[in-house]
């Protein structure tokens, strides 16, 4: 189960959601992005992605045009609660942004939960109750399983911040309703990791075809292109997603 056919929905919700504020920045500044690729895109001095945008603009003329046209990338201003972000991701799978937001609101009403979602919000409810909000049985079971393993301490979401990208993905993939794509989106939008490239994201591939003329389903060509975006492939991905939303 995944959302590869709707690559914009998660970042759109996380960047525009006003129901729950981002987590407060850490008490001490994060290391510079070039020094620690597990460090989030957060800075106390300059715009968080300024260094990334400058490097990408020098490395890729097409990205330079997008950065000039679109403006600063807001990824570094966010540190969303990981549990809430995973709930949002599961709820919105295979839905448009608007439908996902409607279903999320119905779920909140059904279980009487304020945002951000917490594991304890789901404890009193059965899958049938969640389905009454419009969720499929698979999504309802996935949410209950996620809440249960987090509450029991079997999945330490807070501890993910200190783990390498692939370790985070390994900890999440295999849980019901969570595949690699969802884990990668969590790395980008919740943990603020700067160098994540989702090879299965259809939006990125579509943007790459339109911007660079890459062949369809050519993984090697896409990987070669993205090598030039290191160590800021998350930021480059954001600009490609935004490119798809620009008028022709």
pLDDT for the residue 25: 38
Cα separation of 213 and 139, whole Å?
Answer: 37
Please provide the DSSP assignment of 201-246 as one string: -HHHHHHHHHHH-PPTT-HHHHHHHHHTTTT-HHHHHHHHHHHHHS
User: Could you tell me which CATH number the domain at 50-77+196-245 has?
Assistant: 1.10.1670.40
Cα separation of 90 and 182, whole Å?
Answer: 8
User: Could you tell me which CATH number the domain at 78-189 has?
Assistant: 1.10.340.30
Q: Estimate the crossing angle of helix 165-172 against helix 180-189, to 10 degrees.
A: 130
Place of tokens 């304890």: 120
Q: How many residues does the chain have?
A: 248
For every one of its 248 residues, what pLDDT tens digit does the chain have, with 9 covering 90 and above? 333 434 455 555 555 454 444 443 333 333 333 334 555 554 444 557 899 999 999 999 999 999 999 999 988 776 789 999 999 989 988 888 789 899 999 999 999 998 899 999 999 999 999 999 999 999 999 999 999 999 999 999 999 999 999 999 999 998 999 999 999 989 998 999 999 999 988 889 999 999 999 988 899 999 999 999 999 999 999 999 999 888 76
Query: Which residues, other chains included, contact 133 with Cβ-Cβ below 8 Å and sequence gap of 6+?
Result: 103, 106, 107, 109, 110, 111
Cα separation of 52 and 222, whole Å?
Answer: 20
Cα separation of 203 and 244, whole Å?
Answer: 8
Q: What phi, psi does 173 have (nearest 5°)? A: -65, 135
Domains of the chain, by residue range, sit at 50-77+196-245, 78-189
Query: Residue 173: helix, strand or coil by DSSP?
Result: strand
Total H helices, total E strands in the chain: 12, 0
Q: Are 118 and 129 in contact (CB under 8 A)?
A: no
Nearest to 121 by CA among 99, 96, 100, 151: 151
Cα separation of 172 and 182, whole Å?
Answer: 9
């Amino acid at each position: 189960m995944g959302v590869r056919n709707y690559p914009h929905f998660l970042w759109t919700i996380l960047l525009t959601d006003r129901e729950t504020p981002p987590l407060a920045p850490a008490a001490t500044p994060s290391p510079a992005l070039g020094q620690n690729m597990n460090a989030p895109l957060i800075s106390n001095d300059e715009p968080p992605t300024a260094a990334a945008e400058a490097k990408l603009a020098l490395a890729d003329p097409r990205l330079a045009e997008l950065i000039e046209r679109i403006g600063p990338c807001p990824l570094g201003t966010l540190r969303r609660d990981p549990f809430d972000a995973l709930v949002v991701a599961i709820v919105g799978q295979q839905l448009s942004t608007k439908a996902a937001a409607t279903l999320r609101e119905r779920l909140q009403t059904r279980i009487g939960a304020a945002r951000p979602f917490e594991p304890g919000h789901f404890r009193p409810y059965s899958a049938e109750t969640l389905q009454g909000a419009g969720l499929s049985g698979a999504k309802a079971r996935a949410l209950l399983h996620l809440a249960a393993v987090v509450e029991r301490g079997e999945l330490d979401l807070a501890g993910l911040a200190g783990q390498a990208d692939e370790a985070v993905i390994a900890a999440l993939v295999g849980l019901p309703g969570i595949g690699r794509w969802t884990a990668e989106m969590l790395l980008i939008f919740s943990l603020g990791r700067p160098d994540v490239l989702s090879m299965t994201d259809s939006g990125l591939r579509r943007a790459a075809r339109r911007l660079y003329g890459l062949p369809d389903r050519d993984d090697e060509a896409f990987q070669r292109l993205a090598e030039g975006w290191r160590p800021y492939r998350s930021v480059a991905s954001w600009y490609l997603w935004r490119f798809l939303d620009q008028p022709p």
